Amino acid sequence: MTIQIDSIRTVAVLGAGTMGNGIAHVFARAGYDVILRDVEQRFLDRALDTISRNLDREVKKGKLTEAEKPVVLQRLNPVTDMAALARADFAVEAVPERLDLKTAVLREADAALPERAILASNTSSISITTLAAVTKRPERFIGMHFMNPVPVMTLVEVIRAIQTSDETLAATNALCEKLGKKPIPANDAPGFVSNRVLMPMINEAAFCVMEGVATPEAVDAVMKLGMNHPMGPLELADFIGLDVCVDILDVLYKGFGDSKYRACPLLRKLVAAGWLGRKSGRGFYKFA
């Protein structure tokens, strides 16, 4: 079945958290009618507030005019009812990273969406092949791994499950371009490319601190000044959340059965202390 990119007009986003609000923002900004679905109205209200503030930032930067802002906001339809997906041409799932939860949400979405619609998951680490298999549209299922913050970051890692059709891949790539994003293809494997390369670097940086090789500041300075990274690996780990880093390392460790992905004990210790990084006020660094 050829999928006409211009026939995609309405996009559903499942989950209005950190990633969901960013994904809804970029689709609305690109002219799509967006159905934003979360389980409670308060999460939707919070997402719309965040989107409004992020649009203000774009107006200040001159990326959007003052007059365009209400037009973009108008394209967002917040809903709690999954039945609203009946008019969506494309859907992106961005609910928390738990297989049981994603399975339940994807099954519900699959039943509510029209047959022609493509269903994408923004998972960071769960197998796209496994998720595709829980739906009745495995050939129209794909991974669309947006980066945080979504309105700012250009990359979308597009992950093809073994079941994904060529048409679904082509339509998803074309849609990314319409959003002004750069789709980079990868096949389904633990951590895809982004986390498979990034997480071992963060892990090794944590080992350097644990073994007393260098302080977090020194490790980050080496990578920024010497390797031209805009952020040091430990600064980045604090930004991502140390609990999220440990979870992803565990996925790599289990998925490959290779000890090189063993999470650094210091990372686990910081998580056990509740020092999760920026979101909890302390990780490798302290945040005021």
Closer CB to ligand NAD, residue 101 or residue 162? 101
How far apart, in whole angstroms, are the C-alpha atoms of residue 218 and residue 221?
5
Number of residues interacting with ligand NAD: please give it, by CB under 6 A. 22
Minimum Å gap between C-beta 64 and ligand NAD is 23
Q: Please tell me whether residue 17 binds ligand NAD under the rule CB under 6 A.
A: yes
Q: Please tell me whether residue 20 binds ligand NAD under the rule CB under 6 A.
A: yes
**Nearest 5°: phi and psi at 243?**
-65, -40
Q: Please tell me whether residue 16 binds ligand NAD under the rule CB under 6 A.
A: yes
Please report, for the chain, how many H helices and E strands are present, in that order.
12, 8
Q: Please tell me whether residue 15 binds ligand NAD under the rule CB under 6 A.
A: yes
Q: Please tell me whether residue 139 binds ligand NAD under the rule CB under 6 A.
A: no
Q: Please tell me whether residue 43 binds ligand NAD under the rule CB under 6 A.
A: yes
* Active-site residue, from 157, 173, 203, 235: 157
- How far from chain centre, in Å, is Cα 53? 20
Closer CB to ligand NAD, residue 51 or residue 208? 51
21: annotated active-site residue: no
Rg (C-alpha) for the chain, rounded Å, is 19
Which residues within the stretch 229-268 sit at the binding site for ligand NAD (CB under 6 A)? 240
Q: Please tell me whether residue 14 binds ligand NAD under the rule CB under 6 A.
A: yes
Minimum Å gap between C-beta 53 and ligand NAD is 16
Quote the tokens at residue 115. Answer: 């047959």
Closer CB to ligand NAD, residue 157 or residue 220? 157
195: annotated active-site residue: yes
Closer CB to ligand NAD, residue 217 or residue 247? 247
Which residues within the stretch 75-104 sit at the binding site for ligand NAD (CB under 6 A)? 94-97, 101
How far apart, in whole angstroms, are the C-alpha atoms of residue 167 and residue 154?
23
How far apart, in whole angstroms, are the C-alpha atoms of residue 164 and residue 141?
6
194: annotated active-site residue: no
Among 85, 110, 124, 205, binds ligand NAD (CB under 6 A): 124
CA distances (Å), origin 103, targets 23, 100, 119, 127, 207: 20, 5, 13, 12, 35
Quote the tokens at residue 119. Answer: 């269903």
Among 13, 38, 183, 223, binds ligand NAD (CB under 6 A): 38
**Residue 11 CB burial class (10 angstroms; 0-12, 13-18, ≥19):** buried
How far apart, in whole angstroms, are the C-alpha atoms of residue 274 and residue 148?
22
- 111 CB-near residues (< 8 Å, 6+ apart): none
* Active-site residue, from 127, 173, 195, 203: 195
229: annotated active-site residue: no
Q: Which residue from 86, 80, 143, 146 is spatially nearest to 110, judged by alpha carbons? A: 86
* Active-site residue, from 121, 124, 165, 194: 124
Closer CB to ligand NAD, residue 96 or residue 230? 96
Which residues form the interface with ligand NAD (CB under 6 A)?
14-20, 37-39, 43, 94-97, 101, 105, 122-124, 148, 240
